[in-house]
Amino acid sequence: MAVDVKTWASKFKNLTDNDETIQCMGKYYTCSFLYDMTDCKVIVEMHDGKVKNINTDPAPLDPYDFALRASAQTWREFAKPMPKPMFHGIWAASFCEDLKLEGNLLVLMQNLRNFTVQFELLRKCGVPV
Amino acid sequence: MARHSPVTGRYVTIEVDGNEYKVFYLHNGNGQPLICQHTAGAHNHQWRGLLEDEEFTRDYNIIAYDLPRHGKSDPPHNREWWKEEYRLTAEHYVNFIVKLCDALELKDPIFMGSSFGGNVALQLALRRPDRFKAVIPVEAADYAPGFFLDWWRHPHANAAQVCASGVWDLMAPQSPDMDRWLTWHYYSQGSEAFKGDLYFYSVDHDLREELQNIDARRCPVVMMTGIYDYLTPPEATENTARQIRGGVYIEMEDIGHFPMSENHEVFRVYLREALRIIRERTG
């Protein structure tokens, strides 16, 4: 049973804002990105390492810098405490599975350290699909 | 009492294809020479676990060098290298390794390398089977396209972090945090060389039509790949080993693309088996 998206957003924000690895180098981690989980979409807005807002019901023209799109099943694999090979990161899943990286990837690269750490927090809070 | 490591470091100057290189290497152990190549954009500290592992140093003379432009091995001192783009080629890479082994007077060394070091191990087995007792290509394949990317040194991004975090999920989630972050740390230091290394890895290295010309009965080839390696997935290595006469493939559980660096305790179990096979085949 997938967790409600608003409950998930609260957990994800709390984990991010209290993660020591992100916060020790959180300054300037400012960008926005879409998690497209097929059955659910959210836009996460970051400001200086903290979650400024999570839009849990994005409209078609709501802006973001870059997007991660994959099937709900792939997102469920990302969220396992010990993910299977090829579901253990965005590079692995984009090379070998159905993850698509879209939008302004330069922003992703500019924030890659913290984004990568934050993405792995899904293993603690699960996904809303 | 100072807590000195038994590992020592030295420099040796060699000339390769007109380039003068002052090469730094770490060393420990006695017996059969085992020379180790780090991964692209990294340096010889990736072998820190093996260099201090008494089970191996008891019988093996372990040498881990920094390829020029990595770690403490400078770019060539006799050329204005800053005026040209660095792109490593298979020919130069092979020539370098052979010249280094000659300079260190290594008799019948076993060559082991990971990732682009694994791919050059295959090149050595093809081009210089006479010079090496055996090769251990780790995380290697006949062809590994897709990683020669501009992102590794894009001027609008922090190249150190892009390289370090860009290879993060080449490692297995089971590997210890400390070892994964040390590997991250090494990668944050090598961004200027990384893309040039990957020219060899993803572009110039292509043995798809050459595998039948490698004879592992003459120079044993024992390939090992971790199941979390997305860049050289296990099936790519297995497929490569199967096409080499006498080639051996070992699959490594719960480990990724930097096995010696991300989890030596797991890696050493498989390395022990690889060396046993080589002893069995070479006497």
Total of domains in chain A: 1
Q: What's chain B's average pLDDT?
A: 97
Q: Which of B65, B11, B4, B72 is nearest to B33 (CA)?
A: B65
- Please indicate whether, in this complex, the C-beta atoms of A116 and B168 are within 8 angstroms of each other: yes
- Residue A92 in any domain: the answer is yes
Q: Above 90 in pLDDT, residue A1?
A: no
Mean pLDDT of B97-106: 98
| B70 found inside a domain | yes
- What's the structural domain count of chain B? 1
Instruction: Report whether A87 contacts A81 (CB < 8 A).
Output: no
Tell me, yes or no, whether A55 lies in a domain. Answer: yes
The answer to whether A104 contacts chain B (CB < 8 Å) is no
The string over B127-151, giving b where at least 16 C-beta atoms fall within 10 Å of a residue's C-beta and e elsewhere, is bbbebbbbbbbbbbbbbbeebbeeb
Residue B254 has pLDDT above 80, yes or no: yes
- The ipTM assigned to this model is 0.96
pLDDT tens for each residue of A33-56: 999 999 999 999 999 999 999 999
The nearest alpha carbon in chain B to A93 belongs to B230
- The answer to whether B87 touches B93, Cβ cutoff 8 Å, is no
What pLDDT was estimated at residue A2?
80
- With an 8 Å Cβ cutoff, are A106 and B154 in contact? yes
Q: Does residue B115 sit in helix, strand or coil?
A: coil
Q: Which amino acid is at A84?
A: K
pLDDT at A16 over 70: yes
Domain encompassing residue A78: 5-122
* B232: nearest Cα among B165, B143, B168, B160: B143
Query: Please, are residues B27 and B62 in contact by the beta-carbon 8 Å criterion?
Result: yes
What pLDDT score was predicted for residue B216?
96
Look at residue B145 and tell me whether its pLDDT is greater than 90: yes
Q: What is the mean pLDDT of residues B142-167?
A: 96
Q: Is B1 within the bounds of a domain?
A: no
CA distance B73 to chain A (A): 27
Q: Which domain holds residue B98?
A: 8-282
Contact B174 A113 (CB under 8 A): no
A107 CB near a chain B CB, below 8 Å? no
pLDDT tens, position by position, B51-101: 999 999 999 999 999 999 999 999 999 999 999 999 999 999 999 999 999
Give the residue from B100, B49, B95, B106 showing the smallest Cα distance to B73. B100
Distances (CA, A) of B79 to B16, B20, B75, B239: 12, 8, 9, 41
Q: What is the pLDDT of residue A3?
A: 87
Residue B2 lies in a domain: no
* Both tokens assigned to A99: 């993850």
pLDDT at position B136 over 80:
yes
A112–B162 CB contact, under 8 Å: yes
- A90 touching B, CB under 8 A? yes
Kindly list the strands in the beta sheet with B32-37, ordered across the sheet, starting from the edge strand earlier in the chain. Answer: B8-16, B19-28, B60-65, B32-37, B110-114, B134-138, B222-226, B248-252
Residue A70 belongs to some domain of the structure: yes
pLDDT above 70 (res B177): yes
User: pLDDT confidence of B283, banded at 50, 70, 90?
Assistant: confident
Choose among A82, A106, A112: nearest Cβ to B166. A112
- Give the model confidence (pLDDT) of A99-109 as tens digits: 999 999 999 99
What CATH number does residue A101 fall under? 3.30.1050.10
Going by the DSSP 8-state scheme, the letter that residue B153 receives in this structure is G
B237 contact residues in A (CB cutoff 8 A): none
A103 lies in some domain: yes
> What is the predicted pLDDT for the residue at B221?
98
Q: Per the CB < 8 Å rule, is A116 touching B169?
A: yes
Q: Is B176 on the interface with A (CB under 8 A)?
A: no
CATH code, domain carrying B100: 3.40.50.1820
Of chain B residues 209-228, which have a CB less than 8 A from chain A?
A: 227-228
Give me the phi and psi of B100, to 5 degrees please.
Answer: -65, -45
CA of B224: how far to CAs of A5, A43, B252, B269, in Å? Answer: 42, 41, 7, 12
CA distance B11 to B222: 30
Domain-located, residue A104: yes
Across-strand partners of B250? Answer: B224
Task: Kindly state whether B165 is in contact with chain A, defined as any CB-CB distance less than 8 angstroms.
Answer: yes
Confirm whether B196 is domain-assigned.
Answer: yes
Mean pLDDT, range B20-38, rounded to an integer: 98
A21 within some domain: yes
